[in-house]
Structure formats: structure tokens, C-alpha cells
């Protein structure tokens, strides 16, 4: 049996289609310099790329979870509040200033109590996701939010 080269693997990775999903598998040669030793390292990285078509509300939930993961947001209430903020922020076109209060968060799907809301808002402010302008208005960090309909969240898993 012929051993497949990396080039063969890349050519064989035809997309796999399923209901609302596409999966592609590929591999790439990597060459990098180990910053501790200065040694040139050659390696191979496999990629599994899943594309999924979902509705807008589910998209916001997934985006909020991925965003929270990337910025070490720890409280579940903060993740829920982040999804609510993204929903509110979408209605404030052409500005990164948005209204925010416990009542408004509840109207937009926040299901936790006021104490959890306060801790969540404080965590998002501390992580510089949002900036308090006054009692009822915040500004979101424009480098962390986007106006679009797709996101790629990459998680690299290494074996020890």
C-alpha cells in the first residue's frame, strides 16, 4: 500500500456535505523557530474545518461563547449578558455606544437576577469588553466586536 504524502492528503480532502454543514479536512506543513532554543522546527498540523449554517439567535450565542473563551470571561452570566449586548448593539448602527440597564437586558433575553447582572457587567468592564460612559450607556470595544454574519473561532489542541 502506498504511503500518502501530505500533498496527497490535501488533494483527497473533498468537502463532506451534510444538512446545513460542510466539513473539510486538510493538513499543512509548518516550519517555525522555537523561541527558547532558536531551533528550526518542522511539523505538520491537521485542520478540521466545519462550516455550519444557523439562525441569527443561535449565531449570537455561539459567538458570545467563543468570545468569552478567547478573553477568559468566566461567569456564565457574563456570557449571557455579552450575547444580549451584541443583540442590543446591532440596533445602534454607526456608533459603538449602546444603552444598557438591567431592565433592557431582561427585555432582550437576560434571564438571571440583578445581582448576577451587576457582576456580569462588572466583569465585562474589567476585561475591557465594554466601557461605562454613564449610568445608562456603555461603549463596546470596537476591536472586539464586528458587524457581519460569519466568524471563525480557532482552538488549537496539542498532545503532550
**Tens digits of residue pLDDT in 11-36:** 445 677 777 777 766 666 777 777 78
38 exposure class (CB count in 10 Å sphere: 0-12, 13-18, 19+)? exposed
Closest C-alpha among 150, 77, 15, 3 to residue 85: 77
pLDDT exceeds cutoff 50 at 146: yes
Kind of pairing, strands 137-140 and 97-99? antiparallel
Q: Are 63 and 151 in contact (CB under 8 A)?
A: yes
Every domain of the chain and the residues it spans: 6-52, 56-140
29, β-bridge pairs: 44
State residue 51's pLDDT score.
74
State residue 11's pLDDT score.
44
- 18 vs 100, more confident: 100
Amino acid at each position: 500500500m502506498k504511503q500518502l504524502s501530505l500533498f496527497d492528503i490535501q488533494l483527497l480532502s473533498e468537502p463532506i456535505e451534510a444538512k446545513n454543514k460542510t466539513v473539510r479536512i486538510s493538513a499543512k506543513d509548518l516550519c517555525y523557530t522555537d523561541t527558547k532554543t532558536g531551533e528550526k522546527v518542522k511539523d505538520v498540523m491537521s485542520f478540521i474545518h466545519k462550516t455550519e449554517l444557523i439562525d441569527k439567535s443561535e449565531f449570537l450565542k455561539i459567538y458570545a461563547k467563543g468570545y468569552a473563551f478567547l478573553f477568559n470571561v468566566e461567569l456564565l452570566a457574563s456570557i449571557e449578558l455579552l450575547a444580549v449586548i451584541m443583540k442590543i448593539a446591532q440596533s445602534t448602527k454607526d456608533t459603538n455606544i449602546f444603552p444598557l440597564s438591567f431592565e433592557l437586558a431582561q427585555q432582550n433575553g437576560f434571564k438571571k437576577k440583578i445581582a448576577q447582572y451587576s457582576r456580569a457587567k462588572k466583569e465585562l468592564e474589567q476585561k475591557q469588553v465594554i466601557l461605562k460612559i454613564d449610568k445608562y450607556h456603555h461603549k463596546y470595544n470596537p476591536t472586539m466586536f464586528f458587524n457581519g454574519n460569519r466568524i471563525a473561532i480557532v482552538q488549537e489542541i496539542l498532545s503532550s
